[in-house]
Each structure stands twice: as structure tokens, then as C-alpha cells.
Amino acid sequence: MRWIFRIVAGLVLAAIALGALATVLLVEPDPLLPDSPPPTRAEIETARAAAERLRAATAPGAAPHTLILEPGQVAALARLAERAVPGARSEAVLEEGALTLRGSVPLRLIGMGPWVNVSVRVPDFGGAPRLGRVAVGRIQLEPAAALALGRAALRARFGERAARRLDSVSRLTTRPVAAMLRVGPAEAAAAVLGVDDLAPYEQAVRAAATAEPNTSLASLLREPLHLAADRATAADAPGREMAAALVALGRLCGTHGLRYGFGELLPQGVMARPVPLAETPCGGAGLHGRADLARRFLTAAALEAIGRHHTLGRFEPVRTGAALTGPDARFFDPSHLVAQRSGRALAVRLLDSPADALQGLAGRIEGEDSVIPALAGLPPPMTIQTFRDTLGGPRDPRFAALVSEIDDRIARLPIHAVLP
């Protein structure tokens, strides 16, 4: 019987260790925002009026139109959320091209912390909601995974209608003087990706892999993306076809953990048995000669597509997304960051482009240097201690400079050049 107690003791110690790790990463000693008085009656009335305008704009039968919110209305909506958690602090700031939301939640009741700080940047978008930088405590989350988690939370707390309201916003334009939202009734059916939507793209991936085994990932990208461009021209929702192609690539050739989660990510029944790593049609196809970079690249692209569509059943399988942004428990490899950000940038470029431009974009993928920059000049892989010593952390200016350098390299790739 002693072995039973050893197992129980091991589980207890593991739970304590995980709790301690979560405390270190998520809980901070100081709030992100200064203390402020509770929302005034005027702020509450302003927020309720703005919320009612949003509800009316997304109600069934409402005509699509542009809703303009002034800075005071946006700030009042953010402060209204403080009433749900005693002691919470929130802030909404309109900038040129982005809305930044910040919040601090106290943890005094459990005697730790005492604060969990959250910061979300929402850049201007067209076509479907998307997030920019998302930070919770000391952790930066993959934006698409964070958006998917937000949808799942909305469904769990308020039902499917609340999640649909989020997707009713098809465009956001922000200026310091106002936020302009293009809103209309959400059409959830047009956003849903199912097993049948992925089938033609999975066939295209397998055909490309058979024709050119163990080739560069760029060769596997061309066939499904050209197919998506062809189908998008005649589709009512062209972005949906490109999203299906990216999700199919991620399911077949993405990271091991995410591929096994797609049975939960996609609705309309259980997905076909996921492809074991040894049997993936992508084989040794890589980027810069490395299959691990190709898998991270495709996973990030698929997560961006998933974040824009109603593909979540349960959220657990998307745990791989948090590890894509940088250091994990053992080491930090800047090349992983390059692959992840390059994959997401490709997805954003394809998903935000009009149907008549997709064929030309797909044609630009002539080699891997079309979709991922060179690694020369970047720091080598490092231990987590070396990462802290040399780059500090996700909020450190040194780490921000590395990310900026990577993004500059990505922006100069052929796939991101301005269309003629």
C-alpha cells in the first residue's frame, strides 16, 4: 500500500509546484494601474448607454452600420467592468491605430500577490476581430489563442449569443478622438469551419508531399494556398477558404500537441484519428533545414485562423500556443520566435487580403525565403538563466528590440510587399 501514498504525495507535490510556478508567472506585487475612485453614476450611465447601442447594432434584423464611440464612452465601458470584481482597476486608451486595454485584479482574498495584471492591445482590423500583444502577468500569450480563449469564456459565461456579438464587429478603426466600429448581425454559420471544409486542402497537402517528399515547407504551402485562392474567388466568405487551408496545414503538419487537439477544436462531430508524428505527410519538410521550425510556423498560422473562426469546442488542446512566444521551462531559441511570428504574419496577410489578390500572393511563395527571414545575426539558443541575464524578459527593452528586429525582417519578405 505504500506505493499508493507515494503516488498521492507525488501528485500533491506536483500540484504545489504548479501552483508556485503560476504564482511566480501570473501574480505581481504591484498593480499595473494606480488606485482610482469607483465609477461615478455618470460613468455608469454612459457605459450602459454605449452597451445598449452595441446590443441594438448586433440584434437580429439590424442593418450593418458604423458605430462611433468617443474616448469617454470607451473608458466608461472599461470602468464598468470594475464593478464585477471589488478592488479591480481598468483603463482603456485610444491611440492612432490601436485600442489598449489594461486591468489589475487584486488577490487579497487568498493572501497572495496581490495583483494579476492584464494588458491587451487591439490593433485596427478589417474582416474579423484580432488581437495584438496580450500579456497576463509576466507571460505573453499567442494573440490568436488568447482570442479563442476569450470566445470560449464568453460562451461558457454568457452563451453562444455573446460570442456571436464579438464576431459582429467586422472592422475597427481607432483614432485618439474616437473608435469607429463596423457592426452588424453576426453570421455564425459563415464563420464555422468543419471537417468537410478541411478535406480538399488536406488532399492538396498530401498530393504535394507525395510529389516532392522531404522538400522545403514552401513547396507544400503553394498547392493548398493556390487552391484556396481559386475557391475564394467564387466564395461568399473568401477568408474562410484561406482559413480552412491554414487549419488543414496545421492539423497535418503542425506541432504534435496541437494536431492531437484538433478533434476538440473542430465542431461537427469527432475529427478523423489525428496523424501520428511519424506518419505526417509533411515528413522532413522544414524551414532552414529544420522540421521543428516548419511545425511552429504552421501551428502559429493555424492558430491565427482558429482565432478568427468558431472552431473551439473545448479550449484545453490549445495549451501549445502559450509556449510559442518565447522562453519555456528549459531554454529559449530565437529561431522559434522567428518561425512563430513568420507563420502568424503569413496568416494575417492572407486572411486580410481581398479574394482577387490571393492568387498573386500565393504565387509569391517561390522558396522558403519568401515566407521566413534568415536567422543570421540572431542570438543562439540559450538556457532560461542566460535568457534572463541577456534579454531580461517579455517586458524588457532588450527583448522588445529582438522582437522588433525579427518583425522588421519579416516585413521585408516578398509575401508582405505591397501589391501592384
Model confidence over 354-368: pLDDT tens digits? Answer: 888 888 888 888 888
Q: CB-based contacts of 384: which residues, under 8 Å, 6+ apart?
A: 327, 328, 329, 330, 331, 332
pLDDT of residue 60: 64
Instruction: Determine, yes or no, domain membership for 261.
Output: yes
Instruction: Determine, yes or no, domain membership for 84.
Output: yes
Total structural domains in the chain? 2
The reply to whether 300 and 320 lie within a common domain is yes
Instruction: Determine, yes or no, domain membership for 20.
Output: no
Task: Round to whole Å and give the CA distance between 71 and 57.
Answer: 19
* Residue 318 pLDDT class (50, 70, 90 cuts): very low
- Domain boundary, last residue among 186, 207, 230: 186
* Residue 406 pLDDT class (50, 70, 90 cuts): very high
Across the range 137-155, mean pLDDT stands at 76
Average pLDDT score over the chain: 73
Q: Between 306 and 236, where is the model more confident? A: 306
Does residue 329 register a pLDDT over 70? no
The reply to whether 169 and 107 lie within a common domain is yes
Q: How many other C-beta atoms are found inside a 10 Å radius of the C-beta of residue 356?
A: 12
The reply to whether 276 and 412 lie within a common domain is yes
Kindly report the pTM of this predicted structure. 0.56
Does residue 409 register a pLDDT over 90? yes
Pair 129, 172: CB distance under 8 Å? yes
The reply to whether 115 and 256 lie within a common domain is no
Per DSSP, the three-state class of 382 is strand
Domain membership of residue 165 as a residue range: 41-186
Instruction: Determine, yes or no, domain membership for 85.
Output: yes
Instruction: Determine, yes or no, domain membership for 95.
Output: yes
* Helical H segments across 159-282, by residue range: 160-167, 188-191, 195-211, 217-233, 238-253, 256-265
Query: Roughly what angle, to the nearest 10 degrees, separates helices 238-253 and 195-211?
Result: 60
- Domain boundary, last residue among 162, 186, 210: 186
Instruction: Determine, yes or no, domain membership for 223.
Output: yes
The reply to whether 211 and 166 lie within a common domain is no
The reply to whether 209 and 165 lie within a common domain is no
Task: Round to whole Å and give the CA distance between 321 and 146.
Answer: 9
The reply to whether 324 and 215 lie within a common domain is yes
Across the range 129-134, mean pLDDT stands at 82
- Domain boundary, last residue among 143, 171, 186: 186
Instruction: Determine, yes or no, domain membership for 371.
Output: yes
The reply to whether 170 and 200 lie within a common domain is no
